[in-house]
Homo-oligomer: A and B are copies of this chain.
Amino acid sequence: MSSTPASDSPCPVVRSLAVFGDAWSMLILRDANLGLTRFEQFRRSLGIAPTLLTRRLAALTDEGLLERRRYSERPPRDEYLPTEAGRDVLPVLFLIGAWGRRHRGGGPLTRFVDAQTGTEIVPLAIDATTGAPIGTRDIHVAAAR
């Protein structure tokens, strides 16, 4: 983006997007949640330019979504592990994927299964209070507080 939405906005969406609101950051978080940790793994997986990857990894580390850990002293090499905040992006990614499956579903698509039941994951966003899927009932905006 040429300019970034303000991270002190009262809108929680804006605050999140100020942290991981670009496609590369989201895909790095996808890979980190799938178990990738090293620069070369991310680079190969994403086909991203090294300078861009370096910048994104540093930003996600500064924001506390990845934790940097040195795994080799000579040569000095770091790996990146998702923090709790980084793992919390996983539900977002599954919902983003659900949109793609529904609206851009042609051709082979990666599937995700529950390790315990072997059934395919069907991501659904609900309101935990009412249990209603989000988008099926009217929602009002209330004052910030």
Interface, chain A (partner B; CB < 8 A): 1-5, 7-8, 10-19, 21-24, 26-27, 30, 34, 46, 48-49, 52, 64, 85, 87-105, 107-117, 119-130, 132-135, 137-145
Contacts and interface: CB of A to CB of B under 8 A. Distances in A.
A132 B143 CA distance: 31
A108 to B, nearest CB: 4
The 10 A-B pairs at the shortest CB distance, nearest first, are namely A91-B125, A21-B23, A12-B100, A115-B138, A16-B100, A15-B100, A108-B144, A12-B97, A15-B104, A17-B23
28 contacts: A1-B22, A3-B48, A5-B46, A10-B107, A10-B109, A11-B100, A12-B98, A13-B27, A13-B30, A16-B96, A16-B99, A16-B104, A17-B26, A19-B103, A22-B23, A85-B99, A92-B96, A92-B99, A95-B95, A95-B125, A110-B141, A111-B142, A112-B139, A112-B142, A114-B130, A116-B138, A122-B129, A123-B126
A22 B21 contact: yes
Copies assembled: 2
B139 A49 contact: no
